[in-house]
Structure 1
Amino acid sequence: MTGYTRASALGPITEFVETRGGSIERIFRRVDLPLALLDNPDLPLPLREQFKVLREAGREIGDPFFGAALGRVVSMKKLSAFGAWVSGAPTLAGAIDRSGRGLNRFLQTATVLRFQVSEAKARWSIEFLDPGKDGRFQNELLGVSYLIDGVRHYAGSGWTPTLIRSTCVGAEQAAALENVFQAPVLHDAPVSAVEFDTALLSATGPERKQPDFGAEPPIPPPVGLREEVAMLSTIALLEGSPRIDWVARKLDMSRRSLQRALDREGCSFSTVLEGLLKDRAVALLLAQKRSLTDIALHLGYSDSAHFSRAFRRWTGMPPSRYRS
Structure 2
Amino acid sequence: MKQKYFVYQLTYVNPLLKALKNSDISVEKLIKISKLHHFDLSDSQKYIPSEVLYDFLLLARSHSKTTNLIAPCYNYFKVSELGDHGDYISKLPILYQVLQQFIVHKSMFQTNTQNDLRIENGIAQFSFTFLDKYSAGRKIAENMYLAIILQTFQLFGGQNWIPLELHVPYRLISDIQPMLPKGEYIIRLNQKKFAILFSQPLLFKNRHTTPSELKKPSILGHTNRSFVTTIEKVLNSYKPGYIPSLKDLSNHFNTSESSIKRCLKSEKAKFSNILERILFKKAANLLSNSNLNIYLIGEHLGYSDSPNFIRSFKKWSGTTPGIYRNSMLKQEKR
TM-score, reference length from structure 2: 0.82
Structure 1 residues 276-295: aligned runs within 5 Å: 276-295=278-297
SS of residue paired to 1:235: coil
2:74 to 54, 71, 76: 71
- Cα distance between partner residues in 1 of 2:258 and 2:94: 53
- Tell me the distance in 2 between the aligned counterparts of 1:262 and 1:147: 34
SS in structure 2 of the partner of residue 34 of structure 1: helix
1:265 Cα deviation from its structure 2 partner? 5.2
Q: Which residue of 2 aligns with 1:108?
A: 110
Aligned mates of 2:160, 2:196 — CA distance in 1: 16
Paired residue secondary structure (1:122): strand
Task: Summarize the Cα distance change of 1:116–1:52 in structure 2 as closer, same or farther, 3 Å threshold.
Answer: farther
SS in 1 for 2:44: coil
2:331 aligns to what? none
Shift of 1:289: 4.2
1:209 is matched with: 211
- In the alignment, which residue of structure 1 is the partner of 2:12? 9
Q: What is the CA deviation profile of residues 74-132 of structure 1, one whole-angstrom value per residue up to 9, with x for unaligned ones?
A: 2223323332333333322333233322333x333331212234445433222111336
- Counterpart of 1:32 (choices 27, 32, 35) is 35
| 3-state DSSP of counterpart to 1:115 | strand
Distance 2:262 2:95 in 1: 49
The SS at the match of 1:33 is helix
Give the partner amino acid of 1:71.
Y
What is the CA–CA distance in structure 1 between the aligned matches of 2:44 and 2:286, rounded to whole Å?
18
Q: 1:290 to 1:164 in 2, by over 3 A?
A: farther
Q: Which of 137, 153, 156 is the equivalent residue of 2:158?
A: 156
State the distance in 1 between where 2:120 and 2:270 align: 52
Deviation of the 1:47 alpha carbon: 3.5
Gap regions ≥5 residues in structure 1: none
Tell me the alpha carbon deviations over residues 181-218 of structure 1, each in whole angstroms, 9 at most, x when there is no partner. 24365433322222333332232223233564444254
Give the superposition deviation at 1:286.
Answer: 2.2
**8 Å CA contact 1:91, 1:205 repeated in 2:** yes
Task: Indicate the SS of the match to 2:210.
Answer: coil
Corresponding residue of 2:61: 58
SS of aligned partner of 1:123: strand
Higher helix share: 1
- Describe the SS at the equivalent of 2:133: coil
**CA-to-partner distance for each residue in 1:216-264, whole Å, 9 max, x for gaps?**
254242423x444333322335351112211122333333454465456
In structure 2, give the amino acid aligned to 1:308.
I
- Distance, in Å, in 2 between the alignment partners of 1:72 and 1:252 is 31
- Per the alignment, residue 323 of structure 2 pairs with 321
Asked whether the 8 Å contact 2:35–2:52 carries over to 1, the reply is no
- Tell me the residue number matched to 1:254: 256
Which 10-residue stretch deviates more, 309-318 or 179-188? 179-188
* Paired amino acid for 1:319: P
How far apart, in 1, do the equivalents of 2:204 and 2:274 lie?
50
Counterpart AA for 1:64 = T
Aligned to 2:195: 193
Number of aligned residue pairs: give it: 319
Partner residue of 2:146?
144
Length-normalised TM-score, structure 1: 0.84
1:234 maps to 2:224 = no
Query: Following the alignment from structure 1 to structure 2, what is the Cα–Cα distance between the partners of residues 126 and 305?
Result: 51
Residue 269 of structure 1 corresponds to which residue in structure 2? 271
Percent of paired sites with the same residue: 19
What is the CA deviation profile of residues 154-178 of structure 1, one whole-angstrom value per residue up to 9, with x for unaligned ones? 11233233443223333xxx25533
Secondary structure, in 3 states, of the residue corresponding to 2:118? strand
Q: Distance in 1 between matches of 2:134 and 2:284?
A: 35
Conservation of the 8 A alpha-carbon contact between 1:124 and 1:195: yes
Which amino acid counterpart does residue 116 of structure 1 have in structure 2?
Answer: R
1:243 corresponds in structure 2 to 245
SS at match of 1:236: coil
In the aligned structure 2, how far is the partner of 1:78 from the partner of 1:258?
A: 33
1:68 Cα deviation after fit? 3.3
CA contact (8 A) 2:46 2:234 kept: no
Q: Could you tell me how far 1:322 is from its partner in structure 2? A: 2.1
| 1:209 to 1:227, Cα distance in 2 relative to 1, 3 A | same
Q: Deviations over 1:12-46 (max 9, x none)?
A: 11111111121223433454123653212112333
Tell me: CA distance 1:133–1:179, structure 2 relative to 1, closer, same or farther (3 Å).
closer
1:299 correspondence with 2:307: no
Q: Which blocks of at least 5 consecutive residues in structure 2 are unaligned?
A: 327-334
Conservation of the 8 A alpha-carbon contact between 1:154 and 1:205: yes
